Amino acid sequence: MYINFVILPFIILLGLLLPDNNKNRIIYIIIVILILSLESALRSLFLVPDTYNYYEMFTIRVPNMSWAEIWSGFINRYFGQIDVEFDFGFYVLQKAISYLTDSFQVFTFLSQLLFFVPMGILLYKYGTNIRQLIFAFVFYVALLHVSAL
């Protein structure tokens, strides 16, 4: 959480220092998205209990699961009579990324990009100047990103 004391001023200063034009808006969005994604990817496994659980899922459980087991879990969860807690999409994401890398930090970075890239596209599309982008990113970090840690 203390990293936000560095990230928030950086987001504000970077936005204020860049001249306001389309090229700089894109550069600003990309830099802030990369910083926020890296912050999540490089955090400690023991920051919150969920992080270590996701680490175990990615490094131990999912690599040993077959696609048939994942599909079976989907069928049982949504069509079977068995009341099972099974997040099909998350298992598919983990399995697919596990083919690319076995690094949990890379997995976390890529999964963060799945959130931040569409957010950046929306901000670019509807934000007409850098000050609006500064406000949107500061708002996100101050109110939403803290709870996501």
pLDDT tens, 40-65? 888 888 877 888 888 999 999 898 89
Extract the tokens encoding 29.
């969005």
For range 68-78, the mean pLDDT: 86
Percent of the residues in the chain that have a pLDDT greater than 70, as a whole number: 93
Question: For the whole model, what pTM was predicted?
Answer: 0.85
Contact present, 112 and 36 (Cβ < 8 Å): yes
Question: Please, what is the angle between helix 22-41 and helix 104-126, to 10°?
Answer: 150
φ/ψ bin of 83: left (φ > 0), alpha (ψ from -120 to 50), beta (otherwise): beta
For range 89-107, the mean pLDDT: 92
* Number of continuous H segments (helices) and E segments (strands) in the chain: 8, 0
pLDDT in tens, 2-29: 787 889 999 999 999 999 999 999 999 9
Q: Under DSSP, is residue 9 helix (H, G, I), strand (E, B) or coil?
A: helix
Whether 149 has a pLDDT exceeding 60, the answer reads: no
Whether 142 has a pLDDT exceeding 90, the answer reads: no
- How far is the C-alpha of 98 from the C-alpha of 15, rounded, in Å? 36
Report the pLDDT value the prediction gives residue 37, as an integer from 0 to 100: 92
pLDDT in tens, 128-139: 999 999 999 999
For range 69-91, the mean pLDDT: 81
Report the pLDDT value the prediction gives residue 76, as an integer from 0 to 100: 82
